[in-house]
Structure 1
Amino acid sequence: MSAQAPRAAVLVRPHHFHPNPQTQADNSFQSAVVSGADATLAARAFDEVTAAAAVLQAHGVTVHLFDDDRDVTPDSVFPNNWFSTHAGGHVALYPMYAPNRRSERRSDIVELLKERYRVQDVIDYSGLEHDGIYLEGTGAMVLDHVSRVAYVARSHRADPIALERFCTNFGYEPMAFDAVDESGTACYHTNVMMCIATDFALISLDMITSPARRQEVSERLAAPGRTVLDLSHAQIRNFVGNAIELRGSAGRVLALSRRALNALTPRQLGVIESSAAVVPLDVPTIELAGGSVRCMIAGIHLEERPGPPAVASTPQRVHRGVTTGARIYAA
């Protein structure tokens, strides 16, 4: 078992996907805004999530697949930004920077967690939005569940007040740093520049501006015996840092995009494959929005309730905030 690699995940399949104009200004990974009326783009994103869920299920990862057919939530494919789950039965809900992303929070997903898993409490930080304070979940934070460290690249999507509250409530040590790309642009989300797995970590150390902090982060990541794989700026641009370790039926897997896999060096791939099976997902359309596989997957670090195996059914859909249909419970 690995505290770092959850056995289950939530994915959201969007019906009206397009790059979000409200996140364009500070997300340097995002492509130019495409009209939400582009049905072809939306259909491709829908198909990419469908295929990604099927691939993960084939590797033994439990996937809870939800549909979103609202046309006001273009980034709903990235649920890891608005909630996270934690061992001991804890769930956190987060304050979101872009106004149109705040509607992504869904009570039906929280209810699914309560029904299928042992949830002790739900801590809701979303009220901080009214104070202009934001912390976009496991996009803003990359969590080391073993050493209990929350790594955070400073940005207006990762407010220090909200970070301190989260770390106090959930028992993490905050480790914040300034990180920029090769052009000097601040990193908008920490999870595009680093990924922490059980036996290795992927990170662009050069993006951390302080040499002392860079060394400290590297040493802390390596402390539990991990191999730290330093990523180039080009690899970060290809979303190599935006990967996630999960637990499948045959052991740990590293889910990442096909684009990211193609950017790995043979040595890096060898280190990864010595610990986890590499599972590439084809998500080129979704990557236009400035996020990749890690952003798409909200891991479930909760204890499952005992009961009969779940039966697959029609995905759950939401239209104008009203829930219809049934959930997929696919294992």
Structure 2
Amino acid sequence: MSIQAPSAVVLVRPHHFRPNPLTADDNVFQVIGAETESVRIAAAAYDEVTRAAAALEAAGIRVHLFDDESADRPDSVFPNNWMSTHPGGHVAIYPMYAVNRRGERRWDVIDMLKSDYRVQDVIDYSGLELDDVFLEGTGAIVLDHVSRIAYVARSHRADPIALERFCTNFGYEPMVFDAVDPSGVPIYHTNVMMGIATDFALVGLDLIHSPARRAQVVDRLTAHGRTIIDLEFDQVCDFAGNAIELHAPGGRILALSRRAAETLRPDQLAIIERSCTLMPLDIPTIELAGGSVRCMIAGIHLDRRPEVVAA
């Protein structure tokens, strides 16, 4: 079992999903105007999460599925931005950039973690929002749990003050870089251009502006034998980097969208399939909001509590 690949996840099924107008300015992956079909889009997103949860459970992943009935949280399908869990019983809660995303933080999710898993502490950084300091979870940070490195594309959603606190509290080394698209627009979340698995890493290397920093990122990612799968920008736009490795009873799987899977070349797929089984999930509606499968999944890197058997 790999420390990089959790075997349990949290998903949130939204009842009123729509692309968030408050995040459209810096999220170039978001489809503007889709909110005009709000009823159809909300129903389709609900169904996509339902099917994704069922597919993960059928593969042997433990899924904790929470429903969100609020009409005021259009991005609640992306819980990885407000929480993360870590080996040793640690949980982090993050400060969010968009005001209408801050209500996504749910204490019933934290209570479930405390009930079903061994939680030693919960460190809540959300108060930093009062000072306009933001760090949007494992959207802004891509974590290498093996090498203890936190990779971060610099943006206003990844403040260096919050990042330093997180890395100090959780024992990661920060690796910060500037990443921009071909038009010079900064990448809003690191996890749209980078996904780290046990034996490989999906990375849009050309988006890292500095050649020297790019080489350092490659050196650190490959230090423990990982293979780099270098993604072209078109593949990043199809969310090929927004994937997550999970541990199922039959072995490791790579969960990603069907759109992402279809954009990968045969040579890239061959690298992945040496250590993972691909699990493409159909989520075209959710991808209208500028995020994909990795954004939907909050991995649980905690030890389960033993089940109590009734006498």
TM exceeding 0.5: yes
Higher helix share: 2
Q: Is the 8 A contact 1:16 1:36 kept in 2?
A: no
Aligned to 1:234: 234
- Taking structure 1 as the reference length, the TM-score comes to 0.92
Aligned residue runs from structure 1 range 177-188, under 5 A: 177-188=177-188
Q: Is the 8 A contact 1:20 1:33 kept in 2?
A: no
Q: Is the 8 A contact 1:242 1:256 kept in 2?
A: yes
Q: Is the 8 A contact 2:34 2:288 kept in 1?
A: no
User: SS of the counterpart of 1:143?
Assistant: strand
Q: Is the 8 A contact 2:195 2:243 kept in 1?
A: yes
Point out where structure 1 has 5 or more consecutive residues left out of the alignment: 310-331
User: SS of the counterpart of 1:5?
Assistant: coil
The number of equivalent residue pairs is: 309
Aligned to 2:51: 51
Whichever residue aligns with residue 213 of structure 1, its letter is R
Aligned to 2:303: 303
Aligned to 1:139: 139
Aligned to 1:312: none
Aligned to 2:198: 198
Higher mean Cα deviation, 35-44 or 197-206?
35-44
User: SS of the counterpart of 2:142?
Assistant: strand
Shift of residue 201 of structure 1? 0.3
Query: What CA distance in whole angstroms lies between the structure 1 residues aligned with 2:57 and 2:222?
Result: 31
Aligned to 2:148: 148
The alignment's C-alpha RMSD in Å is 1.0
- 1:219/1:68 CA distance change after superposition, 3 Å: same
Query: What CA distance in whole angstroms lies between the structure 2 residues aligned with 1:124 and 1:43?
Result: 33
Whichever residue aligns with residue 152 of structure 1, its letter is V
User: SS of the counterpart of 1:38?
Assistant: helix
- 1:108/1:37 CA distance change after superposition, 3 Å: farther
Aligned to 1:269: 269
Shift of residue 39 of structure 1? 1.1
Q: 1:96-123, CA deviations, whole angstroms, 9 ceiling, x for partnerless residues? A: 0000000000000000000000000000
Query: What CA distance in whole angstroms lies between the structure 1 residues aligned with 2:89 and 2:37?
Result: 40
Query: What CA distance in whole angstroms lies between the structure 1 residues aligned with 2:36 and 2:171?
Result: 40
Point out where structure 2 has 5 or more consecutive residues left out of the alignment: none
Q: Does 1:39 align with 2:34?
A: no
Q: Is the 8 A contact 1:91 1:123 kept in 2?
A: yes
User: SS of the counterpart of 2:150?
Assistant: strand
- Taking structure 2 as the reference length, the TM-score comes to 0.98
Query: What CA distance in whole angstroms lies between the structure 2 residues aligned with 1:19 and 1:283?
Result: 14
Residue identity over aligned pairs, in percent, reads: 68
Whichever residue aligns with residue 140 of structure 2, its letter is A
Shift of residue 35 of structure 1? 3.3
> Which aligned runs of 4 or more in structure 1 are off by greater than 6 angstroms?
none
